Amino acid sequence: MDFIVKLPILGGYDTILTIMDHDCTKAMILLPCRENMDSLSITKLYLECVFPFVGLLKKVISDRNTRFTSQTFKEICDLLKVKQNILSVYHPQTDGQSEKTNQHVETALRIVRNFYQEDWSDLLLVVQY
């Protein structure tokens, strides 16, 4: 899990939550959200938009974003038996797959948005596909 932040505010969103299957399918899920969302809001977003399709995660690999390191998120992971794997500081190469995916998403959004001149949050499903 990671975030693409500092996007233009469109449709009330300024951030993308990226969720990627590192092990099997390499599939990604892109969810528009707000940068100021807390851990509980991010968990709720997952439960509403991702859980019905893929179920519970076995493990969450993330950077040291405060939403993933908060006590609330830790407690939720403990309750649901989800293992947390928090990456080392200043070592983005540890999660190079997610970082590379985020770069591809940003590039695709620039291309598609420049062509259609529409709300980027409406284009996430196209980019995800």
Using an 8 Å Cβ cutoff, are 61 and 95 in contact? yes
Name the average pLDDT for the chain: 82
pLDDT reported for residue 92:
57
pLDDT tens readout for residues 60-81: 878 777 788 888 888 888 888 8
pLDDT reported for residue 95:
63
User: Would you place residue 114 in the very low, low, confident or very high pLDDT band (cuts 50, 70, 90)?
Assistant: low
pLDDT reported for residue 120:
80
pTM of this prediction?
Answer: 0.79
C-alpha–C-alpha distance, residues 112 and 119, integer Å: 10
pLDDT reported for residue 41:
92
Question: What burial letters (b/e) apply to 53-86, b meaning 16+ CB within 10 Å?
Answer: eeeebeebbbbebebbeeeebeebbeeeeeebee
Using an 8 Å Cβ cutoff, are 15 and 29 in contact? no
pLDDT tens readout for residues 22-61: 766 778 899 999 999 998 899 899 889 988 888 888 888 7
